[in-house]
Structure 1
Amino acid sequence: MNEIAPTSSLDTLLSRNADRLTATDSRLLKVLLQDPMRAAIENGKEISDRAGVHPASAVRLAQRLGFDGYPAFRAFLCANLTEGGRDFGTASARMAARLVRAEEGGLLASVIRGEIASLERLRLMVTDADIRTFSNRLCEARRIYLLGQGHAASLSRLVALRLKRSGYDARDLDAERGAMAMALRGLAPADVVWLFSFRAPHAAILSLADLAHSQNATVLALTDEASAPIWPAPHHLIRVSRGEAGEPQSLTVPMAVVNAVILDLAGIDDGRSLAALEEYRKFRSKLPPDWN
């Protein structure tokens, strides 16, 4: 049998055939799951050699799981990897998925295709009204607090810098980690807290959301559609897809959202952003070159 439902997971297959598996099969499976990239590209003999078992053992494992032979099983593993099967949910597996896909047409071309696909999905997921909601809240804010974790931290820092240059009182809280209490002491209803979270929300993100709600501040959040929810729920949320499994999980998509928000903000704040940017340009021109 070569046809296995594409939504099946390896865990499902193992559970379904548990009474047929041997100790040798267990050794093979341990090797397979430890290195998903190699599992998706090696043949049965190579996998068996790495597991220290008979060369035909991988074929027998595949057959016990319902495949005609190891090539069909390997095709299943590859599809499970690149299509986001839950067997391969770690960061290393996501990287392996991208490498598997890259073999199909070159590494750079694969990255570019993934970015384009993600941006096309963004067009369908986020509207100009969503962008305007964010820019309105920022325009009205007395002070803007930003916090991101992991890859989102670099985006949070960049947004804080751009808002400052546009004349807004923006503070990247990750840069004030050692003095968070002092930075947030004056948090008030007139303020905005903007959270960035692309995986499971960090404890600091959840704590800040809770604090902001308790102080009646407005909470904005930019998250990945696959991310666990932030609770308490943000007042305004934009969820995006940064790429399917096998596509780059980069900052291109959330950065596009940020660019749209800041551009829209400049269009509705009665020249505040433009005047601040011009003032900043003139000030920088007076500074020594190595200060810029």
Structure 2
Amino acid sequence: MRVTDRLLAHRDKMTPSERQLISVLLDDYPMAGLGSITELASAASVSTTTVARMLQKTGFDGYPQFQAALRGEVKEMISGPIAKRDVWQNDLPEEHILNRYSQQTLANQKRTIDEVDPTEFDSFCNMLSDPDRRIFITGGRITGTLAQYLYLHLQMIRPDVRLLPFAASWTHDLLDVRKGDVLIALDVRRYENSTMLIGQLCQEREAEIVLFTDQWRSPIHRLAKHTFTARIAVPSAWDSMAAIVMLLECVIAEVQERLWDSVKERTDELEQAFDRTKLFRKFGQSSSS
């Protein structure tokens, strides 16, 4: 289990001071736990005895073992393609790639859904369904394709949706961000500085931030109103985005249903535009018609 999983699994059984300690750890994860035990206790306004007791309840033998687990996660968070492959190559089962890769991807999707709080999901969909909120979407080098995918669907569903471009011109778009708008950020390991900066600037303009990230959580989670984590590790040098795509498609399906009357009108207009531009082939019609 991830360190965060172990902390959260036992939080309900903790004392108030121990829950306070866990909150401090999660708010600045994993950095809060990489200093000395005295520094952590001070940051949480608890005693070192409370730190030791909390760790014992979550299954750690002591602070050194806890920090070793954190350092292992940090190593995973910052690992590049070669390091990712090295983790998998010695433990791969003797199966065809179609089996071993798909099995892990399906397992990632199941664990991702199991970890989503339905109440939080509904709250996010409420935000996207609010016509008074404008939606801004941003992604990085890899997640930018997911941002584009989400943008195309939300733009069909409702007005006032913008995709922030990769180039520095995204600063122009942020001039229009106002209080109550929504920034959807997609950020997975190795978390990108530009995406973090966009999040900070939007927070300063009092927009609400929603983050889609991996199991280790982008630092943007400290700014986010809602954070949705997805399992991305697979037997490959590159991560799988399948679980994130599944989450995004769940969002698209739910918001579409909530706004169906207006979505139908927009779709009818869009289809008429497609017919006029002859974007799609009409089967049964000659090419000259």
TM-score by length of 2: 0.64
Distance (Å, rounded) in 1 between the aligned partners of 2:234 and 2:102: 13
State the partner residue of 2:184: 194
Distance (Å, rounded) in 2 between the aligned partners of 1:266 and 1:125: 23
State the partner residue of 1:145: 136
Distance (Å, rounded) in 2 between the aligned partners of 1:222 and 1:121: 15
* % identical equivalent positions: 16
Q: CA deviation at 1:151?
A: 1.7
Unaligned runs of 5+ residues in structure 1 are: 1-82
Q: CA deviation at 1:103?
A: 5.3
Q: Is the 2:211–2:221 contact (alpha carbons within 8 Å) kept by the matching residues of 1?
A: no
Matched, 1:174 2:136: no
State the partner residue of 1:286: 276
State the partner residue of 1:211: 201
Q: CA deviation at 1:84?
A: 8.3
Work out which of the residue numbers 197, 215, 219 in structure 2 matches 1:229: 219
Q: Is the 1:126–1:238 contact (alpha carbons within 8 Å) kept by the matching residues of 2?
A: yes
Work out which of the residue numbers 112, 135, 153 in structure 1 matches 2:102: 112
Matched, 1:239 2:223: no
State the partner residue of 2:82: 92
Matched, 1:264 2:273: no
SS of alignment partner, residue 154 of structure 1: helix
Structure 1 residues 290 and 99: CA distance shift in structure 2, 3 A: farther
Q: CA deviation at 1:113?
A: 0.8
SS of alignment partner, residue 206 of structure 2: coil
Work out which of the residue numbers 134, 143, 146 in structure 1 matches 2:124: 134
SS of alignment partner, residue 220 of structure 2: coil
How many residues align? The count is 209
Distance (Å, rounded) in 1 between the aligned partners of 2:198 and 2:225: 13
Q: Is the 1:146–1:173 contact (alpha carbons within 8 Å) kept by the matching residues of 2?
A: yes
Matched, 1:252 2:223: no
Distance (Å, rounded) in 1 between the aligned partners of 2:136 and 2:245: 18
Distance (Å, rounded) in 1 between the aligned partners of 2:238 and 2:98: 11
SS of alignment partner, residue 133 of structure 1: helix
CA offsets 1:201-259 (integer angstroms, 9 cap, x no match): 32212211111111111111111112342165211111121236669721110001000
Work out which of the residue numbers 111, 118, 121 in structure 2 matches 1:121: 111
Distance (Å, rounded) in 2 between the aligned partners of 1:89 and 1:178: 26
Distance (Å, rounded) in 1 between the aligned partners of 2:170 and 2:275: 33
Q: Is the 1:192–1:220 contact (alpha carbons within 8 Å) kept by the matching residues of 2?
A: yes
Distance (Å, rounded) in 2 between the aligned partners of 1:279 and 1:101: 53
User: Given residue 183 of structure 1, which amino acid in structure 2 is its aligned partner?
Assistant: D
SS of alignment partner, residue 230 of structure 1: helix
Q: Is the 1:147–1:172 contact (alpha carbons within 8 Å) kept by the matching residues of 2?
A: yes
Distance (Å, rounded) in 1 between the aligned partners of 2:183 and 2:230: 19
Distance (Å, rounded) in 1 between the aligned partners of 2:74 and 2:194: 29
Unaligned runs of 5+ residues in structure 2 are: 1-71, 283-289
- Residues 45-60 of structure 1 aligned to structure 2 (within 5 Å): none
CA offsets 1:11-60 (integer angstroms, 9 cap, x no match): xxxxxxxxxxxxxxxxxxxxxxxxxxxxxxxxxxxxxxxxxxxxxxxxxx
State the partner residue of 2:151: 160
Distance (Å, rounded) in 2 between the aligned partners of 1:104 and 1:85: 29
Q: Is the 2:109–2:230 contact (alpha carbons within 8 Å) kept by the matching residues of 1?
A: no
CA offsets 1:55-89 (integer angstroms, 9 cap, x no match): xxxxxxxxxxxxxxxxxxxxxxxxxxxx9895994
Task: Say what the alpha-carbon RMSD is for the aligned residues.
Answer: 2.9
TM-score by length of 1: 0.63
Q: CA deviation at 1:138?
A: 1.1
Q: CA deviation at 1:273?
A: 2.4
Distance (Å, rounded) in 1 between the aligned partners of 2:79 and 2:185: 24
SS of alignment partner, residue 165 of structure 2: helix
Name whichever of 200-209 and 104-113 sits farther off. Answer: 200-209
